[in-house]
Amino acid sequence: MAYSSGFNPHPRISYAGAAPTGSASEAEYLEIGLAEESDPSEVQAALDEALPPGLDVLEVVASSGTSLADRLEASHWRLTLPGVPPERAAVAVQQFLGTDEVPVERMTKKGLRQFNCREAVVSLASQSETGNEAECAILQLVLRHGTPSVRPDDVLAGLREIAGLEADSAPLHERLAQGPLDTQTGTVGDPLAPDRDAV
């Protein structure tokens, strides 16, 4: 790994669009500066060997030179709401989407901050899932990245505020994808495509 120069060198690594604490994720990205040109498959094998089980490097590509962080425009989330009937969630989603402004508050490093969480929501849909446990609602959520950064728990707070929707126990937030936002379809694309195309 390459290091910065100066009196206090740091490894040249940056985490782009990291998921909030307590969230599961299948789509985390980082950029690493290397001291010499290396084969991406060898870098992937070395990283996989150094990481604990369950934390897997799915792909390594050489950068085309454009900023990875600039390509991460949106995230697709799957939110599992234990004990919430899907029909109840669907009604709450319609109320949320029918509202132009949904103010929520969150404690930040600079104190309590209020912002409109509705503005960042590209799409929000409810579905049901039945398993061995009680039926629960599943929300599919696409969030546009921006400032302030709107998180899935902010949207859940907005649903609670607008429609009184609340899960029996802690909801599971799982990021399925993050990348460029297709504004025509509201879907999240592959942020590594430009690097693969440059090879």
The per-residue DSSP string of 122-185 comes to: EEEEEEEE-SSS--EEEEEEEEE--SSPP-HHHHHHHHHHHH----SSPPEEEEEEEE-EETTT
Query: What are the pLDDT digits (tens) for 72-95?
Result: 999 999 999 999 999 999 999 999
Q: Average the pLDDT over 152-170 and give the result.
A: 93
Q: Report pLDDT digits (tens) over 105-115.
A: 988 888 888 99
Q: What is d(CA 165, CA 156) in angstroms, rounded to the nearest whole number?
A: 8
Confidence band of 132 (pLDDT split at 50, 70, 90) = very low
Give the whole-angstrom CA distance, residue 178 versus residue 63.
Answer: 17
Query: Residue 45 — pLDDT band, cuts 50, 70, 90?
Result: very high
Query: Half-sphere exposure (CA, 13 Å, Cβ side) for 136?
Result: 19
- The mean pLDDT value of the chain amounts to 91
Can you give the pLDDT at residue 110?
83
Nearest-angstrom CA–CA distance, 164 and 10: 47
Mean pLDDT of 120-133: 79
